[in-house]
Structure formats: C-alpha cells, structure tokens
Structure 1
Amino acid sequence: MSYKTIVVHLDTSQRAHPRLEMALRLAKHFGAHLTGVFAVFTPDARSLYVMSGTADYYAANEQLRAERRGALERLFHAELSRAEVAGEWIAVDQPASLAVPHRGRYADLIIAGQDDPHDPESYVGDYFPENLVMSAGRPVLLVPHATSVVSPGGHVMVCWDGSREATRAVHDALPFMHTARLTTIVAVNGARGEARLRIPGADIATVIARHGIRVEIKDVQAGAGASVGDTLLSEAADLGADLLVMGAYGHARWQELVMGGATRTLLQSMTVPVLMSH
C-alpha cells in the first residue's frame, strides 16, 4: 500500500508555497501523481455595496489574488518539472469547502493547511479543515501555519485510544510508517472525561509490526487538569515526532459541527503535521 494520488489545496495565503513544497516532497517520496487544487474564498461583490469605498478595495484585492494565483501556478509547473513528478493544476471557482473534498475523494491523501488567524487569505470557509476531515472520506494531512517540519514521516507518533476513528487513521497512515525510522504508539490514560475502555497499545502495535514496521509503545498519564490534546502535543515534542496520526472525532448537532476535545485541540494548536481520518 502506498499513496499514488495526492491532492494538495492551494490558495493565496502565505503558507501556500511551503505547503506545495511539502506536497512535492511527499509525491516524489511515494512516486505519486500530484494534483494542485486552487480554491479561495471569494465574497459576493454585491454584498459590499452598502460599505463606502469597498468597491475599489474589492477590485484591488481581486487583482492581487490574480497575481498570486499566476505566480503560484507557474511555480507549481516549474517545481513539478524539476522534481520529475507527474501532476496537474486545477483552478476552481466553487468554494474550497466543496471543491477540495470532491477532488480529494479521488486521491489517496489530501494535504491542506491549518487556519491561520494572522493571515486573512488563509480563510477559505468556516471550519474548513474540520469539514474537510469529516466529509472527504480520505486521510487528510494538515500542515500547521507555524512549523519547522518540511518533510514529515521520519518519526510517526500515533495517538491511540482504541476507537473506530483511531483504527482508520492507523491504517490510512501505513505508507508513512513503512518508510519511517520509528513509529511510537501513544495512549493517554487517566484524563478527565476519557472513561471509554481502551484497547492496550500493544494490540495495535502488534498489527503494525506485522507490516515490517519498527514500532514502540508508550502509555502516558495526563497530568492534573491537562487535556488529552495538550498531553499529546507535549508528548510529540518530547519524542521529537514530526508527524502525528489520529482519528478525528466529531458529529453534526443541529447546524453546528461539534468536534471532540482532543481533535479540537490539535486542530487549533498543532506544531507538527497531523494526519487525520474519520
């Protein structure tokens, strides 16, 4: 098993270039076809007429976006050629929240970015990463807006709780584990609100090891008042992991998307790339 088709979401944000570079490295590593899906948030210009001066601002912003899009498209094709990676560029007019999951369903792996509150151009829709993970049906590699990792997968840390989502994530991440120097299974015990019966980490480690993967197990105790998410992030830093793997827990409640506590913490505070499956 390997990733042979990778989709990367591209936009006009500051992190689009680093995200493209990571996608190219992974496509080269796995011998995959890379599809760049360019999709941005575009407000309806008609909704701005009540605000004085917004027409000129909207036009200027559209011109800047067009320039960034052109530069990114040229870079995409140039880097594909340099890396000798097969791929294609697709620019869509529909919202990214629709376009990326749709294209991603025909891929083995989707690469997207974390929301960046300091860069308005990173906004492509409300709760875009969360909705992508929940709706795509494929593993999603989320790249933090602040990270020093350029090529994830050297040391994989699996966040294990025995759930259906975690099981799905483990098997979706096997291509990374096959080429990693080490995979560490981390189970957090004793956290408040985590009364669910856990399968011992040894059980899933045995399954992974049968694939010829070097794997270790680590059970950690959540400190007083510490959440599972914060404990996992702390453990990742201590281990020096450059890729986290976890199942994404969430559900729709009325018109609201409700994410599990650990999922929400990692989506907001991740410092290394996180592969999520639902």
Structure 2
Amino acid sequence: MSYTNLLVHLDDTERCEERLTLALSLAQSHGATLTGLFAQSETSGAGIVTRRAGPALLQAAERAKDSFEAKAREAGVKCRWWQLGHGEYGHVISETTICCRYVDLAIFGQHDPNGDNRVPPDLIEEVVLNAGRPILVVPHAGRFPRLGDRPVIAWNGSREAARAVNDALPLLKRASSVLLLAFHTHPGGGEGGNVPQVDILEHLASHGVTAEQERLTISTMTPMDAVLSRASDHGADLLVMGGFGGYGGSLFPLFGRGSNTRQILRQMTLPVLLSH
C-alpha cells in the first residue's frame, strides 16, 4: 500500500517552500506523482469583479509554477500543474476542495494568524470537512526534514479516527515507532468502554504496523492538549487524527463538534494528518 498521487497547495508566500520540500520528499519515497495546485485569493478588485485572474495573480502563479517544476525535476519527481482560474473567496475554497478529491493525499500549510496568508483563513477546515481525502497540514513555523518516523495516533474509536488510521497506513508502515493514544473521558471506565483494547492494534498488526498503546484519561486537560503534550514527549514527527466529528459527540460531550480539530489547527507544532 502506497500513495501514488499527491497534491501540494501552492501560493506566493515564503512558507510555501517548506511544504513543497516535504511534499517532494513524500513523492520520492512513495514513487508518487505530485500535483502542484496554485490557489490564492485575488488581491485585485478588478479580478474579483470579473471572475478572472488579475495580472498580479497570474504573475504569482507563473513564479510558483516555475519554482515547482524546477524543484520537481531536481528531485526526480513526476509532476503536473493545476491552477485555479481566479481568486474569488468562494471559488478558491470550492475548487480547491474538488481538486483534492482526485489524489490520495493533499498537503497544505497551517494558517498563520500573524503571517502573510494568501488564502481564505477557513480553507483547511473546509477542505478537511468536504474533500473526502486525507489532508496533511504542515505547521507555519519550523522545519520538517523527516515525516512519519515516529507518528502518534489519536484514537477514540470514532468513524473519523478509523478513517485517519487507514488513510495513514502508507506512512505508518514505514515508521520505526508508532504510539497510539486511546482516550477515556473519566477514570474507571472499564476495559471494554468506548475504546476497544486490542482491535485497532490487531488491525494495524495485520498491515505490518507494530504500535504501542497508551490509555489516557481526560480530566482537567482538554483532549488536544493531552495529545500535543504526549506527542512532544514522544518526539513525534506526525500526528494522525480524525477531523471535526472525531472528537465531538458522545465521547467528549463537553467539547463541541469540531472544537478539538480547530484547536489542533491553531496550536499544532508538528505535521498533522486529518481525515473526516
């Protein structure tokens, strides 16, 4: 099992280079084709009104294309280029979401509230929720030369968590150490509670993935604070989790639908693979 088609979101920001480097590394290791998707909001009023890309947006796309194709050639990665027709807010979200449906994994950069962002701030949330494909989000700060050697899985037995584990299998199978964090909402939940003790480990083992499991009880710390803290202790280089509904509902009734995903997207310090 491997990824054969990857997509990396590109724009005209300096941080774009970091996620492109990571995407090229993934494409190399999996022998995958990498699609560069240029999707950026229009800064020219004329472009927004006419629903056509303005000159500044076209120039930014051309710069991004030249850089993408040159780096792909240098890395020996087969590539293709897509770009949106214009940069109207809703168009960027809807068309980017559709493009992600035609690949195995899409790679995006975390929104930086204090940085130079060229896309809608809710782009990643909308793509995770509606694309039907796993989304790998790269933090807006830091360098990530390796990915998936020491992944952590946030597991609560939900549909979204199950999808995330399955979507991440090509990465998990190559890992040297996999830590699975299984959650209880209160002490004394019993061995047969919301999270089966052995089933997910058996499933991973059937794919050649040996994982260590830890059971965490959520008390004063929010689920995502607990995940991030343990991931840091583990020296993790990837977090795998279900997006949005995966940490809402009956398992964590004190937290609204999607609240934990949004917290991760704000506070993440390592790459996160999200599935919905």
* TM range, smaller chain: 0.7 to 0.9
5 Å matches for 1:62-101?
Answer: 67-94=59-86, 95-101=91-97
5 Å matches for 1:27-42?
Answer: 27-42=27-42
How far, CA to CA, are the matches of 1:80 and 1:149 in structure 2?
18
Among residues 207, 213, 219, which one is paired with 2:215 in the alignment? 219
5 Å matches for 1:1-278?
Answer: 1-43=1-43, 45=45, 67-94=59-86, 95-120=91-116, 122-190=117-185, 197-224=193-220, 226-250=221-245, 259-278=257-276
TM-score for the superposition, normalised by structure 1: 0.84
Point out where structure 1 has 5 or more consecutive residues left out of the alignment. 49-61, 252-257
Letter in 1 for 2:92: A
Query: 1:68 offset after TM fit, Å?
Result: 4.3
Query: 1:215 offset after TM fit, Å?
Result: 1.1
Query: 1:40 offset after TM fit, Å?
Result: 0.3
Letter in 1 for 2:106: I
Task: Report the aligned-residue RMSD.
Answer: 2.5
Q: Secondary structure at the match of 1:179?
A: coil
Q: Secondary structure at the match of 1:185?
A: strand
Q: Deviations over 1:81-101 (max 9, x none)?
A: 111111111121243212221
How far, CA to CA, are the matches of 1:104 and 1:203 in structure 2?
31
How far, CA to CA, are the matches of 2:229 and 2:9 in structure 1?
28
How far, CA to CA, are the matches of 1:250 and 1:116 in structure 2?
24
Q: Secondary structure at the match of 2:198?
A: helix
Q: Deviations over 1:198-250 (max 9, x none)?
A: 223532011101111121111123352x1101110101100111010000124
Taking structure 1 as reference, are residues 191 and 39 closer, same or farther at Cα in structure 2, changes over 3 Å only?
Answer: farther
Checking the alignment, whether the CA contact within 8 Å between 2:18 and 2:143 is kept in structure 1 is: no
Checking the alignment, whether the CA contact within 8 Å between 1:191 and 1:228 is kept in structure 2 is: no
Q: Secondary structure at the match of 1:110?
A: strand
Checking the alignment, whether the CA contact within 8 Å between 1:38 and 1:91 is kept in structure 2 is: yes
How far, CA to CA, are the matches of 1:177 and 1:216 in structure 2?
12
How far, CA to CA, are the matches of 1:14 and 1:171 in structure 2?
32
Checking the alignment, whether the CA contact within 8 Å between 1:248 and 1:263 is kept in structure 2 is: yes
Query: 1:65 offset after TM fit, Å?
Result: 5.2
Point out where structure 2 has 5 or more consecutive residues left out of the alignment. 49-53, 247-255
Query: 1:64 offset after TM fit, Å?
Result: 6.0
